[in-house]
A and B are shown apart, each in its own frame.
Chain A
């Protein structure tokens, strides 16, 4: 892969095939934590951290454990256990070594286990047959794309406090419609990289 291809690969993962708005992964926390900017940024950081690690470790588990033992059909169970254990481990290690960061991200970490974007990226890495470097880069870039969409969306949603929204559309309904228009804006990037 040349450098140009590599850059396009990264841009494709962040903007064009945005994991949230294009692939529909991780929508529950997207709508859940985007009411306020500070929770959205906290969640974004936690996702970037966990998704990159989870993508890398599940790749290793797949090719050095499941494939040699010929138990690839246990992929789903193995991956979700790896992710759950990883999240727990990150939580404990962070609490002991980086208390300041733990205070900021603490409450978001348990939520990430059920964030389908993390498991989704792990499975995409395998199904697209990425090599190790591509896996690490794709996991990180997807997480950055997720964070970008989440933080932008939280910024828009904070303004809703000042807007007059029809009663029937309050809360999640208007959130979904807004997300739709954001997805429309993101689909404008489609010409950047044809992937």
Chain B
């Protein structure tokens, strides 16, 4: 196979940063270094992913959280080198195979990339349940996919039934249905089955449940947990809905204005967030526990990609912002073993912006 990664990106690069905390060894499955996506527009260059450097761990569930227009979908597309024209993707993305062989994703040939996208990394896009062809039965979709990857054998068809059953779908009834005969939730579950049919190592899901009801959303999340246990894959779940993924994700990565502002274990990011934006987002998220008088929206609005404020992109909305924040763009700094925040004043956020969610910001409560 062609497209072996450059030797610079061996798995040892960041190992000293992550090894110390967890008992089982954490190895990366994806390494992103200085990944950017730019679009040329009449109004100027639109940078919709701004110099992201980040690792995704093997077999973890990573939640990428951000509001619309924060660049989180672009991050997902970048992982599969699937940024649409005329977007220009730059930087380095390294994928590690099961035997830890590095693969330079952006250097793959078209043919290898196609194989990579289904066999290694599979993706469920936003609103993807509408991507079923309306004149084809669900069975034909499965068949077509398996044939395209020369896997249309007995074993795989058995797997189709197993997966559908895992997703609480009646195999033959669903397979013989046309897409319009299924509800949104059923279509979405059938699509998840389809995305797992070739046993990918990574499943990337971009707002897979956003169009569905709460009950179906949460049911699908609880199914995903089970599937992940059973089939062992790395799950990257992209969403704007922080509470929804709280129980699912091992780690959270928070995006604001096209860059990561905070990343760490879920309990730390929610319980003791160290970036002012993460804290403001927690306080702005409608939920059933926070007293209503303690919920506040975030002043101002997110920046236009053509016109991101200089320095820290969050500075115009940040109560902690100083002159320095208008001049310098803070890098992610390590605040705990595996907890990173891109803020000069992360040490002050506890006092300045208390988290109002009961049972979330435990440490700061009086």
Q: Do the two chains bind?
A: no
